[in-house]
Amino acid sequence: MITIFERVSTALGSLSPAVPYAIAPYKSTGALPDVFIAYELISGNPEAHADNVETARTYLVQVSIFSRAGFIGLPDVDAAMLAQDFVKSDWRQLPQDPETFHYGLAKDYTFTEFF
């Protein structure tokens, strides 16, 4: 069975042109790229049970896109995530990082897994 982390990694790995991504927090030994993505699992809640066994679970994943240039021309994360059967949810702007000057946009996606 594919894990939720593998599913997100597969989605983000399909972006063209390629964008650096990692599980949050994004770490770099050098300068951060102008555009990068960090993702994290916010929650994984059981949705259904049968005979005392979990039969479905819904995951909430946050994908944050960071860019020094602002919010124009961001990678098409929606298309990549939807292609892996995620469903779009909330968006929110993150405060600009005062040290790196990256703007951030956090996008939530849900995925329901049936066992």
In the structure encoding, which two tokens stand for residue 71, read together? 């919010």
According to CATH, what is the number of the domain 4-114? 3.30.70.1700
Tell me the pTM: 0.95
Asked if pLDDT for residue 95 goes beyond 90, the answer is yes
pLDDT, tens digit (0-9, with 9 covering 90-100), for 29-80: 999 999 999 999 999 999 999 999 999 999 999 999 999 999 999 999 999 9
Residue 6 confidence (pLDDT): 98
Is the pLDDT at 107 greater than 90? The verdict is yes
Contact between 75 and 54 under an 8 Å Cβ cutoff? The reply is no
Supply the DSSP symbol for 15: -
Percent of the chain whose predicted confidence (pLDDT) is above 70: 100
Decide if pLDDT at 1 tops 90: no
Q: How high is the mean pLDDT of the chain?
A: 97
Question: The tokens of 7 are what?
Answer: 């599913």
Q: How far out from the chain centre does Cα 12 lie?
A: 8
Beta carbons within 8 Å of 61's beta carbon, 6+ residues apart: 4, 8, 39, 40, 41, 42, 86, 108, 109, 110, 111
CB atoms within 10 A of CB 110: 17
